[in-house]
Amino acid sequence: MAGLGWRMRALTGAGAWAAWAVGTTILISTGWQGGGVLAVFFVASTAVSRVLPPKVNAQDAKGDRRDAWQVLANGSVAAGGALFGLAEPALGMWLLTVSLAASASDTWATAVGTWSGKTPRDLRTGLSVAPGTSGGVTVPGTIGAIGGATVVATSGAVVAESLGLLLAGTLLGLLGMAVDSLLGGAAQGRFYCPECERPTERSVHRCGAPAILKKGWRWFSNDLVNFCAIAVAAFTGWAVWQWWP
């Protein structure tokens, strides 16, 4: 699957190796059931990103080929959660599904939201922001987030034979998307390239010029935002699991 992703130009070379590591960990921990949920996540998220390519890229983010950092940001929490399946298979599937639902929710929200052309609003302040800006949300993007979380949660619920996982995966997937938007708007580093006179998410712009920090923390990248948001969803999923009858 990692090799296919690389051949389809959905992953960089390093991204393919990272995907292989994540996938192997999930297969060892949760078997082919977990591998099936991972496959649904990867295929569906790649498809929606290709069918609905962003019309704009206001912050000059990375391209649609995921590198190793992006893969680990979106998959390492899922792989870590799946490891619980070695001792308690049901918990491993629960955490894996919740984590991937959160990642899919954010991916689908970005794809649908930017493609729709609607002006996003910062989730914290309610102010209008440029399309593609981290922290911005739209109604179509939110609908997309629900769709992404539901697709992954449904696959997990089917293989685990748990209706509760469908509900928890969908809701916690949306929680991850909301945390991602809040952190993206409040803490993610945003820069400005004085040479190209355009905003960017990179501390060093594509042109090679050092970018000026305009907002947020320099070290708080979009990949770190994604990781933290998925981790919050996974930890909340673990707490819900303890309570779930």
CA dist 130 and 32 (Å) reads 42
Range(s) of the domain holding residue 130: 2-189+219-243
Helices and strands of the chain, counted as H and E runs: 7, 5
CA distances from 70 to 67, 108, 132, 198, 225 (A): 5, 15, 17, 23, 11
5-34 mean pLDDT = 91
In a domain, 200, yes or no: no
Report pLDDT for 64.
64
CA distances from 185 to 35, 48, 97, 143, 240 (A): 33, 24, 26, 20, 27
Q: Is residue 59 very low, low, confident or very high in pLDDT (cuts 50, 70, 90)?
A: low
Helix, strand, coil % in the chain, rounded to nearest 5: 65, 10, 25
In a domain, 194, yes or no: no
In a domain, 181, yes or no: yes
In a domain, 203, yes or no: no
175-179 mean pLDDT = 93
User: 162 or 113: which carries more pLDDT confidence?
Assistant: 162
Q: Among 165, 41, 42, which Cα is nearest to 95's?
A: 165
17-40 mean pLDDT = 94
Q: Is residue 60 very low, low, confident or very high in pLDDT (cuts 50, 70, 90)?
A: low
* Contact assessment for residue 184 and residue 225, using Cβ atoms and an 8 Å cutoff: yes
* Contact assessment for residue 14 and residue 67, using Cβ atoms and an 8 Å cutoff: yes
Report pLDDT for 50.
74
Among 114-128, 138-152, 168-182, name the one with the lowest average pLDDT.
114-128
The DSSP call for residue 204 is B
CA dist 109 and 143 (Å) reads 7
In a domain, 201, yes or no: no
Report pLDDT for 118.
76
Q: Is residue 133 very low, low, confident or very high in pLDDT (cuts 50, 70, 90)?
A: confident
Report pLDDT for 221.
85
Query: Is the pLDDT reported for residue 228 higher than 60?
Result: yes
Q: Is residue 57 very low, low, confident or very high in pLDDT (cuts 50, 70, 90)?
A: low
Report pLDDT for 61.
59
In a domain, 212, yes or no: no
Two tokens, residue 181: 């938007």
**Total number of domains constituting the chain:** 1
Q: Among 236, 9, 230, which Cα is nearest to 103's?
A: 230
In a domain, 119, yes or no: yes
Listing DSSP states for 138-149 in one string gives -HHHHHHHHHHH
Report pLDDT for 127.
77
User: 70 or 200: which carries more pLDDT confidence?
Assistant: 70
Query: Is the pLDDT reported for residue 124 higher than 90?
Result: no
In a domain, 63, yes or no: yes
Report pLDDT for 54.
57
CA dist 39 and 35 (Å) reads 6
* Average pLDDT of every residue of the chain: 86
The DSSP call for residue 83 is G
Query: Is the pLDDT reported for residue 58 higher than 90?
Result: no
211-240 mean pLDDT = 89
Which segments within the chain are labelled E, that is strand?
121-122, 136-137, 190-193, 198-200, 212-215
pLDDT > 70 fraction of the chain, expressed in percent and rounded? 91
Residues paired with residue 200 on neighbouring β-strands, in sequence order: 191
Among 80-89, 139-148, 187-196, name the one with the lowest average pLDDT.
187-196
